[in-house]
Chain A
Amino acid sequence: MRVNCIINGKNRSFDVDASMRLRELLELNGNIAVRDSDDNEGFCGSDTVLVDGVPVYANLVLAGEVEGCEIRTPDGLADSRHLTVIQQAMIDAGVVQSAYNAPAAALLLTWLLENNPNPSKEEIKDALSGIFIRDAGYEHYYLAVKLAREKMESGEYKTAPAPSFRENLKIVGKPASKIDGPQLVAGEKAFVEDFVDPHSCYMVVLRSPHASAYINSIDTSEAEKVEGVVKILTAYNTPDTHYMQAGQGNPEPSPHDRRLFNLKVRHVGDRVAAVIAETKEAAEQARDLIKVSYEVLPAVFTVEEAMAEGAPLVHNGIVEYRSGAPADLDEYNSKAGDPREGKVIYQFPLHADIHKNIAASNKGGIGDIEKAFREADAVVERTYQTSQIQHTPLEPHVCFAKMEAGRLVVVASTQVPYHVRRIVGWVTGLPENKIHVIKTRVGGGYGSKQDILVEDLVGYASYVTGKPIYYRNTREEEFIANSTRHPMRVHVKMSGKKDGTITGIFMEVCANTGPYGNHCLTVPMNSCSKTLPLFKCENMYYDLKVYYTNTPPAGAYQGYGTPKGTYGLMMAMAELSEALGCDYKEMVLKNHVEEGYMLEILKGLGEGREGNVVPVGSCGLREAVLKGCDMIQWGKKEVSDDPDWKIGKGFAMIMQGSGLPGLDHSEAIAKLETDGTVILNSGGADLGTGLDTISAKICSEVLCMPLEKITVVSGDTDSCAFDTGAYASSGTFFSGNASLEAAKLLKSMILKEAAFQLGEKEEDMFLVEPGAVKSKATGKVLTYAELSHTACSGTGHGQMIAHGNFVTAASSVPYGAHFAQVAVNVRTGEIKVQKFYALQDAGTPINPEIALCQMYGAVMKSIGHSLYEDMKLDKNGKCINANMTDYGVPMITEAPEDFKSVLIDVNDDYGPFGAKSISEIACNGAAPAIGMAIHDACGVWLRDWPMTPEKILKGLGKI
């Protein structure tokens, strides 16, 4: 049918079919900012447009229905060089981060202010009620509206978007526009889907309906007859190469326990076949024609089932070691099962035992724990259980790959471009110089894009077919075929004295890694290594085991295992304080570490090797606790007017790391261009968190030049130098420090060259703004443009190029404390988070407005994990809530009524300009703070996630 409409003021006419969605029509029209993140669920709001002035979800409107309508799309607001006041205010408020939904949010706020120039907080909340924001939270959207209104009314902001830090610095520590903000908020090309070549092939994956089964045969004959099918990949025509998908330093502390396709499927959703076809429809049709014969096997879904005597084994093949093989390996392998089990290959021993479903284990500690328990005034012993959580990035896992000039080009939404290159190299057999990974903007990662979950297959498929291939997970596949947060059982035994001294802590952690061992050691290790060092306790012991099961896979998730370890330890500490009759706050103040305290516990807590024993460095923990207690009025009992609602308070100490000392590695190359501008090639992977802006600001600060004269190119394996990637909170500390090293070296090169060109002494040279060298001796000034032009003029020394390389053994640990006030309805079990205060020491926050939003976003995620989110499996291991509506992510409606993020001002000795990490740590506090507050409100200890109204009612004995 023919449809005539007006799109962003222009008359348009299309032929559409009955099933075409308005979003698809707009995509055809080039309105790429109208995106899809929920497969027509009408939930996330990435597809928001205005039809005749009313916001609607374009995926829920058929194209044939818009005849005669006027449509406005986010990209119709402005281009990146001419942003609207609202778009700019969003950047300045810090909410434009991974930004997959930023254009849609800009459209909604534009619509709001056009119709209501002076909206209340409730009206802003209502306008944003249909849009899901996972990265930056919602709090600074209110600020963005305020800033925009101020600018509209008076031509300038009256409100500072964020506090500033470090008076001696010009740009570091000050709010400044995120350098990729304009591109992102305007909805311009940014994400993988925007860079797919026309006429590329499409790939779809056939997935296992069984949680555990051997594949007897796969018949693709009918599927191959479908017109347009290019290739069908299965276990029978792909390499017998065992590898793993975790993006970690090489050699990895994760077992190589999978192939591209296995002959044993190990979870519902596991790969069985991939169809590459000229169209998506042909690929889907062919997929439905593939016939697979399975031998269904019994499965295990919990650690309790996995550890049971005689439990079905998830892996029962041959075990190999790249190093450190045990002497009895041949005997061990004599018990291997069916050849279809494949292999498990360890890079080094992980203390695993696949015959007991143990993927990895570790234990250790300090002091005499049994003596501590014997001599204590009170001992509590509790078990805490966390659930399986999905990252739900708005942009699903997606990849485009093609062969170009004999090389494989992989366009990826990844946190780890260099690990992608290495692992794609393994499965294709190509050397790294034949693979070019291009990281685009990342529309939400949160750890899930630290794993190479689609690039391996898409890269291989493109390599063997020679075709350009595009693949994108459905939302359901995001749940069933991706990595998730490990469910964990954290058993804590803690002892103390009546004066509040904690004398002993024992943690037993049982983690569920699912069918494959991505991050199976490192994530659970964090539940101990990023929690026990909070305590000034001489007797601490940990024992962790990680089990294979047949659930959807687990992997990296923002915070790794720390949110779960923190939940267990802090809740147990609160329970111990109750048993001892001590005030919890006083107990915290008595037992937390302080600067200089030697962390002996770290010795056994390395990532697969011995850890560094170091003293506590910069530490804002005590200030965070004291300030937060004042803010929430700790000790004051709040009373509701409604007797059914009881109010309580809780808080938790938190810590994380800033990358992995001794393991992480970052590099950057700073080049002075011939006009005096700088291009910084950073190996770092900005996943929306502002890392590129950090690199640019560092460069700007060191080189005394404006931010706009610095361009950062990052995440491109051809043009940038190696970086381990953005995980473990390494971005600011490692990649930022590499940029700092490069900038410092470029500065010294500039001074030296200026001295040469001026014929003066190098020690008389110094940098002046805006990008020039001045002589103390003669007062002469040489601009960078003049300097560089001469150097590259044919007779000079050539272009100034500085290479920064950063590795360290130093740890810069961020600390903080999170506070919650909740109301619990003792009649219905309902829980409301009334107040949440997040106080964190991030060292020098280089981008303070972005840092605050990352705290809001991470807290919102962990409120979701604590109260709502839970992947539910049926008895056959199928996830029954694999969609956004039933899964339960928090939206603006779930945000605390009073929500504050506060940056504690502490300078760090090792971070770039004193900076530490900010984002991951913010995932750690909500669960224990809320759990304690619930107990304070109604007397019920909820020891498992999610903490639901039904569990409250059970705890109260009402059901």
Chain B
Amino acid sequence: MAEKLIIAQSIEEAVSLKDSSSIFLAGGTEVNRLDSPCQAEVLVSIGRIGMDLIDETDAEIDCLKGKKKGRFIRVGAMCTFQELVDSFSVPDYLREACLFMSSRTKRNMATIGGNIASARDDSYLLSTLIACGAAVELNCKGKKHVYGVCRYLKEKKNYPDSLITAVLLPKKEMTVASKRYANTASSHAAVTVSVSYSDGKYRVGAAVKNAGVRRLVEVEDLINAGPVSDEEISKAVKLDLTDDMFGSAKYKRYLLGVTVTDLMKKVGGKK
């Protein structure tokens, strides 16, 4: 239980207050929820520091495989899911992913930055953001970094005091589709899969409960090489799937296969 709550008034103040005893508090749907693993003595509330604009920017992003430059839609990290649903400035695929959070009341609170930072394996947004090649803008003790989402997730622990200030979505011709499987719309997801098609290639992201969230490069290699079956895609997935209350490993693996195929049809591209 937190002993201190500090309401930061600026990004700079928020970042300066962050240390090993504190965590950032954004929309509250993760940090303040029952049994949240996000616990600290000090909560640094970032609800008053803005970071809720949506505009465009040129940026160079650090990815796992080097740097990429491009034009991006820049979404402030404190934009709530519902603000994104209501926005005409963000792509449809992001709106659709935000609607995976079925509770309107919760969408009014949850933020895009908070959802990424919590890096849950049932994340509403991460598979979509991975598939579309999104990046996060970080402020780490005053120093700005722009990392691809995959790199951010992989190296997150190296930047414990960093604050996500914005999310960058590629501003280019691209189709993205996602599918979420959960017991009920309000339950945690067992499997969320996203596929994008751009520049003649598919890109695949997945969040699988108790197996993690990541880009499925092994699947991309397969499907970008030529026609493949659902079974081949299923077999190619290298996630360490488990039997749990969300379903058997076999079930999750099967879903990954058929869903990638279905989403490939949905996003168009190669036959």
Contacts and interface: CB of A to CB of B under 8 A. Distances in A.
Nearest to A827: B258
A370 interface: no
A42 B186 contact: no
B105 A62 contact: no
A330 to B, nearest CB: 47
B197 to A, nearest CB: 20
B178 to A, nearest CB: 14
Given A62-B28, A62-B32, A881-B245, A18 B186 contact: no
Contact of B245 (A40, A108, A872): A872
B7 A60 contact: no
A57 to B, nearest CB: 6
Interface string A788-815: 0000000000000000000000000000
Contacts of B34: 38-42, 475, 883
Given A57-B109, A64-B45, A827-B258, A130 B183 contact: no
A54 B107 CA distance: 11
B159 interface: no
Contact of A130 (B104, B184, B247, B262): B104
A65 B7 contact: yes
Interface stretch (B61-69, B165-173, B221-229, B249-257): B249-257
B51 to A, nearest CB: 15
A428 interface: no
A885 B36 CA distance: 13
Interface residues of A, number: 52
Contact of B29 (A39, A42, A45, A64): A42
Interface string A926-959: 0000000000000000000000111001000011
Interface string A23-42: 00000000000000011111
Interface string A262-285: 000000000000000000000000
A263 B241 CA distance: 42
B271 interface: no
Contacts of B184: 868, 888-891, 893-894
A381 B3 CA distance: 62
Contacts of A127: 104
Interface string B1-22: 1111101000000000000000
A21 B4 CA distance: 13
Interface string B214-238: 0000000000000000000000000
Residue from B103, B181, B247, B259 having most chain A Cβ neighbours under 10 A: B103
Contacts of A830: 181
B187 interface: yes
B45 A893 contact: no
A558 interface: no
Contact of B186 (A108, A126, A872, A893): A893
Contact of B109 (A56, A886, A949, A959): A56
Contact of A959 (B2, B105, B251): B251
A19 interface: yes
B13 to A, nearest CB: 15
Interface string A862-904: 0000001000100000001101011011110110000000000
B105 A48 contact: yes
A186 interface: no
B251 A130 contact: no
A131 interface: yes
A444 to B, nearest CB: 18
A141 to B, nearest CB: 14
B193 to A, nearest CB: 11
A250 interface: no
B206 to A, nearest CB: 15
A828 interface: yes
Given A60-B109, A886-B245, A891-B102, A18 B47 contact: no
Nearest to A54: B108
Given A40-B34, A868-B183, A888-B183, A62 B45 contact: yes
A764 interface: no
A846 to B, nearest CB: 34
A42 B33 contact: yes
Contacts of B105: 45, 48, 55-57, 108, 129-131
A56 B108 contact: yes
Contact of B103 (A129, A883, A948): A129
Residue from B2, B5, B104, B183 having most chain A Cβ neighbours under 10 A: B183
Interface string A41-61: 111010010000011110111
Given A129-B102, A130-B103, A59 B32 contact: yes
Given A19-B2, A885-B187, A959 B250 contact: yes
A171 B181 CA distance: 49
Contact of A55 (B25, B104, B188): B104
A42 B34 CA distance: 8
A129 B104 contact: yes
A368 interface: no
B2 A891 contact: no
A17 to B, nearest CB: 8
A108 B104 CA distance: 10
A61 B32 contact: yes
The A interface, classified by DSSP as helix, strand, loop or mixed, is loop
B109 A43 contact: no
B103 A880 contact: no
Given A18-B43, A129-B104, A130-B105, A60 B32 contact: yes
Contacts of B32: 21, 40, 42, 59-62
B248 interface: yes
Interface in B90-120: 102-106, 108-109
A65 B185 contact: no
Interface in A1-34: 1, 18-19, 21
A67 interface: yes
B184 to A, nearest CB: 5
B188 A885 contact: yes
Nearest to B248: A950
B247 A950 contact: yes
Contacts of B185: 891, 893-894
Nearest to B185: A893
Nearest to A949: B181
B83 to A, nearest CB: 10
Interface string B128-151: 000000000000000000000000
A43 to B, nearest CB: 7
Contact of A65 (B45, B181, B255): B45
Contacts of A57: 29, 105-106, 109
Given A18-B2, A880-B245, A958-B254, A60 B181 contact: no
B10 to A, nearest CB: 16
Contacts of B28: 60-62, 65
B7 A67 contact: yes
Contact of B251 (A64, A827, A953): A953
Contacts of B4: 18
Given A64-B5, A64-B7, A891-B103, 18 more contacts: A40-B32, A41-B33, A42-B32, A42-B106, A43-B186, A56-B105, A60-B32, A61-B32, A62-B43, A62-B45, A130-B103, A131-B105, A828-B181, A886-B188, A893-B102, A893-B185, A893-B186, A950-B247
Interface of A: 1, 18-19, 21, 38-43, 45, 48, 54-57, 59-62, 64-65, 67, 108, 126-127, 129-131, 475, 827-828, 830, 868, 872, 880-881, 883, 885-886, 888-891, 893-894, 948-950, 953, 958-959
The 3 A-B residue pairs with the shortest CB-CB distance in the complex, in nearest-first order: A130-B105, A130-B103, A18-B5
20 contacts: A18-B2, A18-B43, A42-B29, A42-B33, A60-B27, A60-B109, A61-B109, A64-B45, A65-B25, A65-B28, A65-B45, A67-B7, A130-B103, A827-B262, A828-B258, A868-B187, A885-B186, A885-B187, A893-B185, A959-B248
Interface of B: 1-5, 7, 25, 27-29, 32-35, 43, 45, 47, 102-106, 108-109, 181, 183-188, 245, 247-248, 250-251, 254-255, 258-259, 262
